[in-house]
Structure 1
Amino acid sequence: MQRTRRQILEYLKRRGKASLEELATAVELVPVTVRSHLSVLERDGLIRTEEERGKVGRPHFVYSLTPEGLETFPRAYHVLAARLLAAVQDVYGVEGVDRLLQQMWDVWVDERQRRVAGKDLDARVAEVTQICSEQGCLAEWEAIPEGYLLHQYNCLTLRVSSEHLRLCDYEHDGLRRLLDARVERLKCMAAGDQSCSYRVTPSDDATEA
């Protein structure tokens, strides 16, 4: 990200909100230049503008971070998730981890079943690809003679999955259940591949490969 815009985001992260004049002072630029940077940040959905009224004088505008803007700062969700899984395993054993992951993916599948209900396999593959993309998985699919290939180029749980490969198994099973088809895992990012890729083929009983 451009240096001045990053400085603006960092200032807003520390202060919560700020006026144009405050930001101009903070980044040591004239207000008109800062305003152009703010326009870009607002266009990108990283900041928002609010009108603030004081006890006297005209109202003025202040800027603050949006949820998307907050997400530009590092998070350690993967550390927390890995520690939670390790703690569950210490207390309840591997069976406890499996029960937890099974419950999580049961909910994931149940919440999305209505989006694929009544559709043929071609439409289900397209819809599941869209679902994965909405989650940030950079998913795409392609037709092949025997069925379809489903690729995901971003793994949301990569750092955790690298330590707990069972996560990949439950995702595999969740996709199989949602697609109601035979799903064979070909590549896995947690194992060092460039993508998580699956071959999807019709199956009367949706038996996992």
Structure 2
Amino acid sequence: MNNNDSEQSGFSGSVIPYRQQILQHLLENKNGLNIEELTHYLKISRAAVQQHFSILEKEGLIKKHRRIKTLGRPSMNYVLTNEGLAHFPKRYSLISNLILEQLNHDLTPEQRKVFMQKLGKKLAEKYKTLVAGKNHTERAEILVDLMQDLGFEARMKHHLENHGVEIHAYNCIYHDVAQQFQEVCTLDETFLSELMNKKIKMHRCMAKGDDVCCFKSNAEKNGTVTL
């Protein structure tokens, strides 16, 4: 499985066992729990629970939430935030593989390529304002940052002889999928081409056994390669 897929059975290394248990209890109690309830569940002191709550709240994993009681004053509970929910396992690769297997069955290779091109264009539309008015080098720098945000370990490589650049990705965020369905790489090519406003091709591919994914434009008439 891809390590970027949040599919691990445990939590982030920063979440210690008691905090894992707090998050687990809050997951199972969507209306939230208060300090007294967690003290009972965890069999630790109120002060210890408060300390764990304080740390989890600072990390953005939980937040305060008032629960109205039938009798008496409202109770101050804690509930999971979206970031807290994100700590629990997900199976993105499972659904991705199912979708791609069905596409592989229903579509021809050319149709799958066209489908991935559409996805690449749709993804690029979200970021076009970031590259508007930028030159090619500036666009490449922005693209490297975007790729890193998406989970790629991306770097820009300069060529002093022709003042061109390449973008290298040292990991593939859907490596297992790309090994079976190489049309997925068309998504990356289209995404980069749309934002660079220039035809970009993948000249090296980790899914095909290369040590890096290398994106650059086709050679120009004088033999140089630039983005």
Q: Tell me the TM-score normalized by structure 1.
A: 0.81
- The alpha-carbon distance between structure 1 residues 23 and 159, as it changes in their structure 2 partners (threshold 3 A), is farther
Q: Is 1:40 paired with 2:58? A: no
| Structure 2 runs not aligned, ≥5 long | 1-14
In the alignment, is residue 114 of structure 1 matched against residue 148 of structure 2?
no
Tell me the CA shift for residue 57 of structure 1. 2.6
Q: Which amino acid aligns with 2:145?
A: Q
Distance in 1 between residues matched to 2:37 and 2:204, nearest whole Å: 50
Which string of whole-angstrom CA distances, capped at 9 and with x for unpartnered residues, describes residues 47-106 of structure 1? 121122323333222112111211111111111111111112212333332232121112
Q: Is the 8 Å Cα contact of residues 116 and 186 (structure 2) preserved in structure 1?
A: no
- Write the letter of the residue equivalent to 1:172: E
For residue 137 of structure 1, what is the aligned residue in structure 2?
A: 152
Aligned residue identity for 2:50: R
What is the number of residues matched between the two proteins?
A: 207
Say whether residues 1:31 and 2:41 are aligned partners: no
Q: Please, which moves more after superposition, 179-188 or 28-37?
A: 179-188
Query: Which structure is richer in relative contact order (CA contacts within 8 A, separation 6 or more)?
Result: 2
CA displacement 1:107-146 (0-9 Å, x = unmatched): 1123322221211112211221232233333544354424
Matching residue of 2:117: 102
Equivalence map 1:51-200=2 (5 Å): 51-141=66-156, 143-145=158-160, 146-152=163-169, 155-181=172-198, 183=200, 185=202, 188-191=205-208, 196-198=213-215
Bigger mean CA offset, 188-197 vs 68-77: 188-197
The alpha-carbon distance between structure 1 residues 105 and 43, as it changes in their structure 2 partners (threshold 3 A), is same
**TM-score for both structures, normalised by structure 2:** 0.75
Q: Find the aligned partners of 2:159 and 2:73 in 1 and give their Cα distance.
A: 64
**Tell me, which stretches of 5 or more residues in structure 1 are unaligned?**
none
CA contact (8 A) 2:120 2:187 kept: yes
Contact kept in structure 2, 1:89 and 1:96, CA below 8 Å: no
- Change in CA separation of 1:84 and 1:184 when aligned onto 2, cut-off 3 Å: closer
- Provide the C-alpha distance between the structure 1 equivalents of 2:220 and 2:18, rounded to a whole number of angstroms: 55
Indicate the larger mover: 38-47 or 190-199: 190-199
Partner Cα separation in structure 1 for residue 197 and residue 220 of structure 2: 8
